[in-house]
Structure 1
Amino acid sequence: MIAAVWLLLVRDGNVLLSRRRGTGYRDGWLSLVGGHLEDDESVYGGAAREAREEVGVTVRRREVEVVSVVHRLEGGSRVDFFAVCGRWTGEVSNAEPHKCAGLLWSPLDALPADVVPYMRAAIVNYRAGCWFTSRGWPDSFPNSLDHTAY
């Protein structure tokens, strides 16, 4: 099973998004800061590493809160941890221009249409206080908040 961590870096009701480039997965789409966890790191350690590598900021463990988990079937079984962070040290910048075509701040309640779908679901869940969803499995709900069809 592949595990990843994604950061909702939040400032004044806006979340930081990055435009994927050269990754081979949904290039051109908007994503959160994050990526695969290394074998020797925790979710919090991975969040700190990804923040530093991708946008050049330092996040501390006490500033990171895991708020959502997505278990999805997409090229195998994957578990994605989503963490919110409202405080960091340093200025946000595109530290990986070969993987990111640009950064933008988007209102949490008005996301652009081209946010990677499972990340959109996690952001919607975070706003609604729903901590878990599954996607792609035969017994998954049709979307993150509509459980009536199950």
Structure 2
Amino acid sequence: MREAQEEAGLIIERGNVELVHLIHLVDSPSARPRIGLVFRARSWSGTPSILEPDRCVEWRWWDPKDLPAEVVPYTRQAIEGIVAGQLYSQLGWDER
């Protein structure tokens, strides 16, 4: 909820989110492992705005099968997991 407000200017109430995916990732062999929690907002208020232009160039709705090539790898992995009905995925562990 905080990230949605900071990064997109959206207001999401606590009762309007649900956990839909957890991704355990390592960005590189020397990086510390991280866990990303992905939530789905059932409703929100506001219009998406680009509040971090150094990290995001555009907000747009995409069909998951038509994502652009530039999607961050762990984001792509999480979306693929959600579409497949999987609560958990991991990324980068094979390279360690």
TM-score normalized with structure 2 length: 0.83
| TM-score normalized by the length of structure 1 | 0.56
Pick the aligned partner of 2:23 from 70, 95, 101: 70
- Secondary structure, aligned partner of 1:76: coil
Unaligned residue ranges in structure 1 (runs of 5+): 1-47, 140-150
CA RMSD between the two structures: 2.0
1:10-69: CA deviation from partner (whole Å, max 9, x where unpaired): xxxxxxxxxxxxxxxxxxxxxxxxxxxxxxxxxxxxxx1111111111001111111111
Letter paired with 1:51: A
Task: Rate the CA distance shift 1:134–1:99 in 2: closer, same or farther, 3 A.
Answer: closer
Q: How many residues get paired?
A: 93
Kindly indicate whether residue 86 of structure 2 is the aligned counterpart of residue 130 of structure 1. Answer: yes
Residues 1:86 and 2:86 aligned together: no
Q: In 1, Cα distance between the equivalents of 2:68 and 2:56?
A: 17
Partners of 1:96 and 1:115 lie apart in 2 by 16
Decide which of 100, 108, 115 is 2:64's aligned counterpart: 108
Q: Which has the higher contact order (CA 8 A, sep 6+)?
A: 2
Q: Name whichever structure is richer in strand by fraction.
A: 1
Per-residue CA distance 1:97-128 (angstroms, 9 max, x = gap): 34332222211232112211111111011011
